[in-house]
Structure 1
C-alpha cells in the first residue's frame, strides 16, 4: 500500500459518514449549494397506483399486502447481563471499559436490561403491532471464547426470545454478528486472523442447529464496512485501531465469514433464508467536475461495491484493488476459492440506510443537507430511493429488507409522562415515502425495520443519543412509548401512510 493511499484511507475514515466526527471543511459552501428537499419532492409519489404499492384516492400510500413492518436492535446495545449465564467478554466490553473510549465512560454492562426484561419488551412489540423483529445473537453468549461447545444457557435465552416472538405473531429475524467479537479471538488477531472467519462458520453452524427450526430469516455480518472504517481506520469503535494496512484485510475476512455462514446454513439443512446486512451510502459528486466524478466512483467502491460486488458478482472491484495496491495485505490475503465462498448464493439483502455522501474532486467530502444529532448523518430521504433502485438495477431483483433506518432526537420525558419526538415522525414519514416510491418503481422491498425499538447503548456515544421508538429511563429501566411509536403503530395498522 502506497503512502498516498494510506493517507487517503485515513482521511476517508475521518470524513466518512459513519465516523463520529466528520471534517467541517467546505461546510458553509456545501450548505449554500444545497437546498433541503420538501417531503413532497422527496416522496415523488403522484398517486398513480400499481400492484406493488398503491396510492388511495385520498393520496394515502399503501404498501404491498403482508409488508413486514418491524424494528431492530442489537445484543450489546440492549441486553446487559454482561457477566451472566456463561457469557464471555467481547471486544466491546474491553473497549467500553477503557478510559476515554466512550462518552461519559458508558458501557453496555446493563444497557436496557433486555436480558431480564425481554418478556416486557416482547409485549411492547406486540402492542405496537410489529410484524417482524430484527435482533442479534451475542457470539460470546454462545461461545465465551469464540469456539468450542456452545453455551446452552445462552442458546436457551434466544430460544425463549424466539418462542415469545412466535407466540405474539412476530417473525424473528436474527443477525449472527453485530460487532461483539469474543475478546479471546481478538487476543489471537481478531478479524486480521483468517482463522476467525473459520470460527465464525462453526459458531453459525451451532446456532443454526439450535434455532434454525424457529427463525425464518438469518443475517450474517452486520455492517462489515463499519467494523473496517470505525474499528480499524478511525479507531473510535472496538477494537480501536488506526491501521489502514490491516483494515481491508479485515474487510476480506468479514466477507469470508459471511460466505462461510451461508454455506453452514445450507449444510445444516435449515430451511430459513439468509443474506448479509450492509450499510449502503449513495455517493454523489459534490460538483460537476470530472475530478469529482472520478473521485466519487472510487469512493463508492470503498463504501458500497467492495461488499456488493464480492457477494453478488464474485469479484472485488478492480479500481479499489488497484488503489490499495498489489502488495496490500488484503490483495495478498485473498486465496483461491475465497470469492466463490463469499459469493455463495443468498436469499435476500438487508440494506441499512442513514446518509448520503458528497465527494469532492480531491476525494474529501462535504455536507449538503441538514444533519441530525449524529453529526455524520445528513437527512436526505431521496438517498433511500437512490440506493434501493441502484441495488436492484446493478445486482438484480434480489429481495430486499431494510434492517436499519432512523435518527437520534433530543428526547425528554415530560411531566405528563409523554415523549414528543415529532422530528422522528417527519424523518420516518419521508423515508417511508421514498421506500414506497422505490417499490412502485420495481424494487422488491419486502420489509422495513426502524432503528431502533429501544433507546440503547449507542457505541462510542454511550447513552447520550436516543434512537428508539421507546424511551428508556435508564435509572429505573421504565419503558415509555414515544409519539413516534404511537404514530408507527398507526402506520402498521393502515399498512401505509
Structure 2
C-alpha cells in the first residue's frame, strides 16, 4: 500500500515536551516570557516542566522503539543550545540533543531535526525578534553550528516549522508568542522567516555537503469559497491563499512573492523590507516539503454586520489574515475535534495533489492528528476510537493522494505525547500516548497500539487496536 521506503513516524516540539526550562544552561525563550504573562495561556499553564522529556528522554525513546516508529521528528530548543541567540554553543544543551540522536540511532529510529519550532531566544526578541533582519542571519549561524555538531548522525534537517504561525499568530493576532498585534510586523516577520530559511539551507549545505536531506514544514491551508458561484467569495479564497500559503511557498520554491499578495497588502506596506537579492537567497533547493494538516476553512466576502470567526481563540490554522479587511472566515460545519477544527480528510487529498501539481517537490506529512476529550477507562487505558478514526481517515487520504500522483514519502502523527498545547496549556490532548501530568507516567492509548500495528504491517484495516 505504501511501500517499504515510506517513512512512518511521530513528532513533538521542544517547548511542548522538554521542561527543564532553567536547567543545563538554557536561556529564556519568547514562550517562557509569553506563558508567564498573566492571561496569555489557559489556567496560566507554562512549559516549565511540560512532560519532563529532558529528564525522561531515554524512557521516551524506549517507548518509541516499542511502538516500532521508523522516525522521530523533534525540534531543537534554540535557547537551550545558544541561550542568547548568538555566540558559542552551550555544551550542556548540545549534549542533550547529541544523546537523544545517539539513543534514537541505537533504537533503529531515524532522527528528523527541526531547527525552529517557535521558541525564539528572548534576547533576540528584545532586539525586534522576527521583525529584525539580523534574526535571520543569527538563525543561519545557529543552523550551521548545529549541523556541525550533529551532521554526521542526522541526515534530515528541517529549517522552520509553520512560519505562518510564528508570523501571523505571533505578530498579527498576538495569540502566540511574542503576543504582538501589528499586521505590518507580521509581514516583516514572514519575510525574515523566509530569509532565515534560505540562509539556513545554504549554511547547512555548506557545512555538510550535498549528502543531506533539507526540508521546511508549512501549515498549508485549504480554504473553500462559502458560495462557489459568488465571485466575491472566490476572490476571498484567493486573498487568504496568498497570505496563508503562497507568501511562503512562492519565494521558497519559485523565487518570488506573488504579485496579488503585494497588491492586496499595498495599503499596509510597500514591502521595502525585502532587499535586493533576498528572493534569490530564499529560493534554495529543498529535498522535501513538510506538510502539516489538520482541517479546512471557509472564506467569503464580508457582507457587513458582525464578522464571523472560525475560532473563538484565534489560533485556528485558518486565521487571522492581513490585508483583506473585506474577507471573513465563518465557522466550518462539523464533525469537529476538541480544538473546534473540522474533520475533513478530503482536504488533505486536495492539498497534497495541488502542491504536487503546482510545485513538483517531494512531500512528507509532518504533522497530522487530533485532540479529543480523552477519558481513562477502568483498565487505565484511553480507548480513543475517535482519534483512531481520524488518523485512519487521513492516512487513507495520503494513500489516495499518492494514487493520484502526489509524491508523498512519509507520515508523522501529531503528537507522540500529550503535552503543552501552546495557548491552550494542558487543556487539549493530541497524544497517542497519554501523560499523567501529576506523575508524568506514560500510557499508550488505543491509538498508539493501532498506529504501531499500521507501522508494522502497512495495512490500514481494521479500526480496532
Asked if Structure 1 and Structure 2 have the same fold, meaning a TM-score greater than 0.5 normalized by the shorter chain, the answer is yes
Cα contact 1:274–1:346 (8 A) shared by 2: yes
| Aligned residues of 1:326 and 1:332 also touching (Cα < 8 A) | no
Distance in 2 of aligned mates of 1:267 and 1:404 = 28
Specify the alignment match of 1:236 in structure 2. 175
Partner residue of 2:232?
A: 291
Cα drift, residue 294 of structure 1: 1.2
Contact 2:184 2:268 in 1 (8 A): no
Structure 1 length as normaliser, TM-score? Answer: 0.86
Name the residue aligned to 2:337: 372
Output the CA distance in 1 between the equivalents of 2:333 and 2:383.
Answer: 27
| Post-superposition offset of 1:369 | 3.3
> Hey, what does 2:349 align to over in structure 1?
385
List alignment gaps of at least 5 residues for structure 2: 303-326, 461-465
Tell which has more relative contact order, 1 or 2 (C-alpha 8 A, sep 6+): 1
In 2, Cα distance between equivalents of 1:353 and 1:248: 22
SS state of the match for residue 113, structure 2?
strand
Assess if the C-alpha contact under 8 Å between 1:67 and 1:495 holds in 2.
no
Query: What does residue 135 of structure 2 align with?
Result: 196
Which position in structure 1 is the counterpart of 2:204? 265
Contact 2:205 2:212 (C-alpha < 8 Å) held by counterparts: no
Q: Confirm or deny: 8 A CA contact 1:159 1:211 kept in the other structure.
A: yes
The CA deviation string for residues 302-354 of structure 1, in whole angstroms up to 9 with x for no partner, is: 1111111111110111111111117616x110001110011111111000011
Residue 60 of structure 2: aligned partner:
121
In the alignment, what sits opposite 1:9? none
SS where residue 265 of structure 1 aligns?
helix
Residue number in structure 2 paired with 1:167:
106
SS in 2 for 1:360: strand
CA displacement, residues 245-281 of structure 1 (integer Å, 9 cap, x when unaligned): 1110000000000001100011103432111110011
CA distance in 2, matches of 1:91, 1:173: 24
Q: Name the structure 2 match of 1:145.
A: 84
Separation in structure 1 between the aligned mates of residue 78 and residue 208 of structure 2, nearest angstrom: 21
Instruction: Please list every run of at least 4 consecutive aligned residues from structure 1 whose deviation after the TM superposition is greater than 3 angstroms.
Output: none
CA deviation vs aligned residue, 1:167-192 (integer Å, no higher than 9, x gap): 11111100000000000000011011
Deviation at 1:444, TM superposition (A): 1.0
1:228-248 CA-to-partner distances (Å, cap 9, x unmatched) read 221111111100011111110
Which residue number corresponds to residue 255 of structure 2?
314
- Does the residue aligned with 1:135 lie in a helix, a strand or coil? strand
| Residue matched to 1:345 | 285
Contact kept, 8 Å, 2:2 with 2:399, in 1: the verdict is: yes
From 393, 413, 417, give the equivalent of 2:376. Answer: 413
Q: Give, in angstroms, the shift of residue 283 of structure 1.
A: 1.6
Q: Is the 8 A contact 1:281 1:354 kept in 2?
A: no
| Whole-angstrom CA distance in 2 between matches of 1:255 and 1:227 | 11
- Match of residue 20 from structure 1: none
CA distance in 2, matches of 1:305, 1:66: 30
Q: Secondary structure at the match of 1:403?
A: strand
Q: C-alpha separation between the residues in 1 aligned to 2:410 and 2:290?
A: 10
Unaligned runs of 5+ in 1: 1-61
Aligned to 1:54: none
Aligned-residue CA RMSD (Å): 1.0
State the alpha-carbon separation in 1 of the partners of residues 159 and 459 from structure 2. Answer: 29
Matched length: 433
CA distance in 2, matches of 1:106, 1:231: 18
* Contact kept in structure 2, 1:279 and 1:352, CA below 8 Å: yes
Task: Please show how residues 414-433 of structure 1 align to structure 2 within 5 Å.
Answer: 414-433=377-396
Residues 1:213 and 2:152 aligned together: yes
2:428 to 465, 479, 483: 465
Distance, in Å, in 2 between the alignment partners of 1:202 and 1:405 is 30
Q: Is the 8 A contact 2:7 2:409 kept in 1?
A: yes
Structure 1 residues 104-143: Cα deviation after superposition (integer angstroms, max 9, x where no partner): 0000000010000010100110010100110000000011
Q: Which residue of 2 aligns with 1:324?
A: 265
Q: TM-score, normalised by structure 2?
A: 0.92
Moved more, 429-438 or 289-298: 289-298
Structure 2 residue matching 1:320: 3-state secondary structure = helix
Distance 1:413 1:294 in 2: 46
